[in-house]
Each structure stands twice: as structure tokens, then as C-alpha cells.
Amino acid sequence: MGMLSIDGDSRCMANTIRKGIYMKSAWIILKEQIEHFYLIRRLSIYELKSKNKNNYLGILWEFLNPAIQILIYWFVFGTLRGRAPVEVAGVEIPFFSWLLAAFFLWTFFFQSTILGSKSIYTKLRMLSKMNFPMSVIPSYIIFSQFYIHLFMLGFTVIAFQLMGYPINMYYLQLIYFIFAAYCLMFSLSLITSTLSTIIRDIHMLLNSILRMMLYVSGVLWPLTLLSDHPKLVTILKLNPVLYLVEGYRSAFFGVDWYFITHWQYSLYFWALIIVLFVIGSTLHVKFRRHFIDFL
Amino acid sequence: MEKAIKVEHVSKRYRLYHNAKERLLDLITPKEYGEDFYALHDVSLTVEKGDIVGFIGTNGSGKSTLSNIIAGVVPQTTGEVNVKGDTALIAVAAGLKNDLTGRENIELKCLMLGFSKKEIIAMEDDIISFSELGKFIDQPVKSYSSGMKSRLGFAISITVNPDILIIDEALSVGDKAFAEKCLDKMREFKAQGKTMIFVSHSIRQMKDFCDKILWLEFGMVREFGTVKEVIPNYEAFIKEWKKKTKEEKDAYREQVTAKQKEILLKK
């Protein structure tokens, strides 16, 4: 028999039609993130440490795992089945280089979203108090993945020097796209961590959805393959991960300032982030007092 | 006198479900499913600054729930709780991370309580020496015995110097010598005029240490008063209670919860 308690007032999300509460929640979360930035950074380091305490190679596994994964892809697509080169804004790029440019962005997104979704119900026991700024939890989980991503990014940059794509001015937009990725993952995690705490099945569902998303986010094959079906491409472009993936490629291959040349896409992306963030904050603020009752 | 803790008409309701379907239906439909269970029912309590209050009662009377609500770990369903100052809850092995070492746990715990790196370094030695963990401090917490865990938890909580200390049976797992040391520290706090809440089954410790006693029974206040008033009644009750057969105990429980329901219906 499960134990659970819900307040009368948190019973129905639909009842919250009071305006202003959305903006207020978003503001609360934003303030918490800024005020507790130091805490987020410190906690993310402890997170990495404690996660890898039992392995002899320790934190090295965090880097080995994605590295092994891309080696497999390189073996399968690069040597066993030669894939045709891909065109990025008119420049022809060999398939493996094309894959490498955004692959670690995908692993960053995948790991952060999965871990972010279960962050609250796995970490809540650790907190001794409810007045702890709980929105910090998904944030520091993502941040710990960010360190790994930075390292993998460094690895990618070195690989590209050897492959003949030297550092260029367009690299600067990577900072913008990393920030954009962080905003996307945090907003998503606010929603999924709250929902997964209330209904654990959501986390399982998310797992499946993410596995599927790998194949439709333009990571493994270029959307230009679908150029005969422009409607389908438009639908696939609604996926915000695609925006980030394309942005990373533009940066590494130095073709254009992606977020400027595709400004409509940028507008769409940020509008979506704002909507997700406001939904996430509202859900989070509404339920956070009761998270402990759902454990 | 200044009021340190004010609890007014606090109830804590849990909902018991018979299966997962009920639980889901309760969550997503406006209709209510499942059975209500009140862990606390209309509890009011005022603690003055510098008071040491002991919570007593049989198992399942709501002592831990009430101390958790006062500490702000668990939200109440209805009622008001006002607490002046910082609280620290010390429960057996509360919030330690098993994979990290004792030292890392100290840092992490203090970090979460909002201390800066400098302050943490300053406190670390005090905590380690109070916990008497010796070289175990650099071993992962999962290798600790329950006594060692509670020693570490206790050492952290008292070193961060809270205004209100809530001790939930944390002393029952350590050995006598450490319990004595903790009691000494608590006497020191008492002398400083700190407010404390003490949950324990040991009547001897209660007599020794508390000013006031709150006696809880099935989530309701049975008696609240000075040690001299309440403890003799409680001891008499426990004596009777132990003599009762299981059937008699169940009958008594029925009787009290029926009374509870009556009060509920009146509202």
C-alpha cells in the first residue's frame, strides 16, 4: 500500500488560472539559479565525485563512455559502410567529421535530460530542509554533465585540427549554443523532474522518447535526405535539439553565424524555451513543498 | 517570554491506497480515492525560547512526524507552524551520502546548509574531533556502523550552531559514552538558552534533561505540561499498556481513533 498526501490546493493544476503566478514562479526560479550559482558549481563537483567513487578509473569513465560510443559509430558508418559525405551550407564534409561535430552535444543532452528527470526524487532524501532552493537540484546535475561536455568538446576540437578543420572565428558561437543547450535542458528538467517525482512512469517514458529522438534530431543522418518531403522536414525542425545540432556544425566547419542566418529559427527556439521554462517553473514551484510526500 | 516555536492546529494527512490504480486515479481525477490516515490531528503547541521539550508516546503516535514538520522537512496538511530561527534536525543517519567519505559528507552537508568554503574549513576540525571517527573520516560512509553515522550526523548538526535543535532518537544508536558526551553538549546548549526538542523512548533521559513534555497518542495531544506533571501519568499508562493483550491494545486504538473521527466530523 502506498502512502501519499496531496493538499487540496495542489490537487488540480488546472485550477491555477490565476494570472501572474506563472511569471512569479519563473522569476523565483531564475533568482534561485543566480543566487545559488556557487552552490550549483560546488554540488556538481561532489556529484561527479560520488558517482564514480566505486570505479578504479573513477571519473575517467565519464569520458570513456561517450568516446567508446563514437568509436563504434565510426567503425560502423565510417569504415564498414562508407556513408556519403554531407553538405553543410554548401561545404562538403566527410560523414564521420559531420557526425563528430554534434555527437557529444547529443550525449550531453541525453545524459542531462535523463539524470535531470530523476534528479529530484533521487536526491531529495539528502536534503535536510525544505527551504533548500530545490530548483538547484536539476541545475547542478546538468552542470556536472557540462564539465564532461567541455572536456569532450576539447577532444572534438583537437580531432578537427587533425582532420583539417582548423579553429575559426565561428567557434565563438559555440558559447551561445552551449548556453542555449543549458537553457533547454534546464527548462525541460524542471518539467520532467517534477512530473517524474509525482509519477515515476514519466521517467520511463522519457527514456524511450529520448532513444527515439536520437534518430530524428539530425545527429545520425542529415535531414537533407528528406528533401523530397518538405513538410516532414518542417515538423522535424520543431525539435529544438536540431537547432543546437545545426548550430554546432556551423561553428566547427566555419560556414556561417547560424543563429543570425537562421534568425527565424532562433526566434522559435527562444520562444519555445520561454514557454517550457514558465511551465516548468510553475509546476516546480507548485509542487516542491510536497515533493517529500511523493517519495 | 519569547515564543520560539508556535504550532497551531496542525494536522498531517496521508492517503492510503489499496493499489496503484487508486493512486493514479486520485492524482489525475478531481474525485478522491483511497483512505485518509491522520498521522497528526489538530496538534497545537507553544515552545518558549530556551525550553527543552520532550516528545513521548508509543510507536506511531506521531512524534517523528511532528518533529519533521517543525524542522521543516515535511509539510503539514493544515494548520500553521511558526519557527523563529534556524532549526537542525538530528535523526539517525539523516542525509549522508553513502559513496562519499565522512570528510566529503561534512563539506557537502555544510555547503547545503549555506556555509562558504572558508567557514566549512574552519568548522571541519571541530566536527571531526567531536565525531571521534579517527581515520574512518576518510572512508566512505557506507562502511560506517549505524553508531558511527549518527555520531557524524550529530557532530555536524551541533557544530553548525542552530537556534533550535531537534533530536529524533539519534542518541539511541550510539554507545553510552558518546550519548553522555552528546548530553553534555546539550546541557551546554541548555545553559546558553537554546531551544531544543528531544524525541526519545528513554524516560530516564527525559527526566534528566527536559523541562516540558508533550505526550502524543495516535496523532493527538494527550497531555502537555512540565516533566513532573506528565511523566508520572505516562509511566502509569505504559505500565498498563504493557499488561494489555494485543486484542485490548487494538480495542483501545479503535476507541481513540473513533473519538478522532468524531471530532473530525464536527468540523
* Confidence band, pLDDT 50/70/90 cuts, at residue B201: confident
CB atoms within 10 A of CB B87: 24
Q: Give pLDDT, residue A12.
A: 43
The answer to whether residue B127 sits within a structural domain is no
Task: Name which of A5, A53, A126 to mutate to probe chain B: the one with the most chain B Cβ atoms within 10 A of its Cβ.
Answer: A5
Mean pLDDT of A127-143: 83
Averaged pLDDT score across all residues of chain B: 84
**Residue carrying the nine cell digits 515538423:** A235
Mean pLDDT of B158-164: 83
Considering CB atoms only, which of B15, B73, B109 is closest to A4? B15
Compute CA distances B136 → A70, B132, B182, B214, whole Å.
41, 9, 20, 38
Least confident of A17-21, A204-208, A234-238, B146-150: A17-21
The answer to whether residue B133 sits within a structural domain is no
Q: Are B2 and B84 in contact (CB under 8 A)?
A: yes
Q: Are A63 and A148 in contact (CB under 8 A)?
A: yes
**Residue A5 pLDDT exceeds 50:** no
In terms of Cβ atoms closer than 10 Å to its own Cβ (0-12, 13-18, 19+), residue B149 is buried
B26·A6 Cβ contact <8 A: yes
Q: Give pLDDT, residue A10.
A: 42
**Residue A151 pLDDT exceeds 60:** yes
**Domains in chain B, number:** 1
The answer to whether residue B13 sits within a structural domain is yes
Contacts of A51 in chain B (CB under 8 A): 99
Among B110, B88, B58, residue whose Cα is nearest residue B218:
B58
DSSP letters for B11-68: EEEEEE-SSHHHHHHHHHSSS--SEEEEEEEEEEEEEETT-EEEEE-STTSSHHHHHH
The distance of B45 to chain A (nearest Cα, Å) reads 21
**Residue B253 pLDDT exceeds 90:** no
Among A117, A175, A185, residue whose Cα is nearest residue A150:
A175
Sheet of B195-199: strand order equals B87-91, B164-168, B195-199, B52-56, B212-217, B220-226
* Confidence band, pLDDT 50/70/90 cuts, at residue B266: low
Cα separation, B23 vs B34, in Å, equals 7
The answer to whether residue B130 sits within a structural domain is no
Cα distance from N-terminal residue to C-terminal residue, chain B: 32
Note down the domain range covering B244. Answer: 3-85+163-266
Q: Are A6 and B33 in contact (CB under 8 A)?
A: no
Q: Are A190 and A281 in contact (CB under 8 A)?
A: yes
Reported ipTM: 0.76
Among A32, A192, A179, residue whose Cα is nearest residue A113:
A192
Averaged pLDDT score across all residues of chain A: 86
pLDDT digits (tens, 9 = 90+) for A169-183: 999 999 999 999 999
Compute CA distances B242 → A27, A80, B257, whole Å.
56, 77, 20
* Confidence band, pLDDT 50/70/90 cuts, at residue A15: very low
**Residue B29 pLDDT exceeds 80:** no
The answer to whether residue B242 sits within a structural domain is yes
CATH number, position B32: 3.40.50.300
The distance of B15 to chain A (nearest Cα, Å) reads 5
Q: Give pLDDT, residue A291.
A: 84
Q: Give pLDDT, residue A195.
A: 93
* Confidence band, pLDDT 50/70/90 cuts, at residue B92: low
The answer to whether residue B105 sits within a structural domain is no
The answer to whether residue B109 sits within a structural domain is no
Mean pLDDT of A16-21: 62
Mean pLDDT of B190-217: 86
Mean pLDDT of A235-251: 93
Main-chain phi, psi angles of B124, to 5 degrees: -55, -45
B27·A131 Cβ contact <8 A: no
Main-chain phi, psi angles of B51, to 5 degrees: -75, 150
* Confidence band, pLDDT 50/70/90 cuts, at residue B247: confident
Q: Give pLDDT, residue B257.
A: 78
Least confident of A120-129, B57-66, B223-232: A120-129
Q: Give pLDDT, residue B174.
A: 65
Task: Name which of A12, A32, A128 to mutate to probe chain B: the one with the most chain B Cβ atoms within 10 A of its Cβ.
Answer: A128
* Confidence band, pLDDT 50/70/90 cuts, at residue B100: confident
pLDDT digits (tens, 9 = 90+) for A52-88: 777 777 788 888 888 898 888 888 877 766 677 887 7
Q: Give pLDDT, residue B248.
A: 84
**Residue B37 pLDDT exceeds 90:** no
**Residue A6 pLDDT exceeds 50:** no
Mean pLDDT of A259-285: 95
Q: In sequence order, which ranges of A124-200 are alpha helices (DSSP H)?
A: 136-163, 173-198
Main-chain phi, psi angles of B42, to 5 degrees: 50, 55
DSSP label of B101: B
Contacts of A49 in chain B (CB under 8 A): 100, 104
Instruction: Report helix angle A263-287 to A173-198, nearest 10.
Output: 30
B112·A132 Cβ contact <8 A: yes
Cα separation, B88 vs B161, in Å, equals 8
Cα separation, A115 vs B154, in Å, equals 31
B104·A49 Cβ contact <8 A: yes
* Confidence band, pLDDT 50/70/90 cuts, at residue A239: very high
A134 → chain B, closest CA residue: B112
The distance of A36 to chain B (nearest Cα, Å) reads 9
Cell, residue A87: 553538405
Cα separation, B17 vs B1, in Å, equals 45
**Residue B21 pLDDT exceeds 90:** no
The answer to whether residue B233 sits within a structural domain is yes
* β-bridge pairing B220-226 and B212-217: antiparallel
Q: Tell me the HSE value of B170 on the side-chain side, using a 13 A CA sphere.
A: 30
Q: Give pLDDT, residue A241.
A: 95
Please, which residues have CB within 8 angstroms of residue B114's CB and are 6 or more apart in sequence? Answer: A39
Cell, residue A191: 518539467
Q: Give pLDDT, residue A19.
A: 62
Q: Give pLDDT, residue A238.
A: 93
Considering CB atoms only, which of A7, A42, A126 is closest to B97? A126
* β-bridge pairing B212-217 and B52-56: parallel
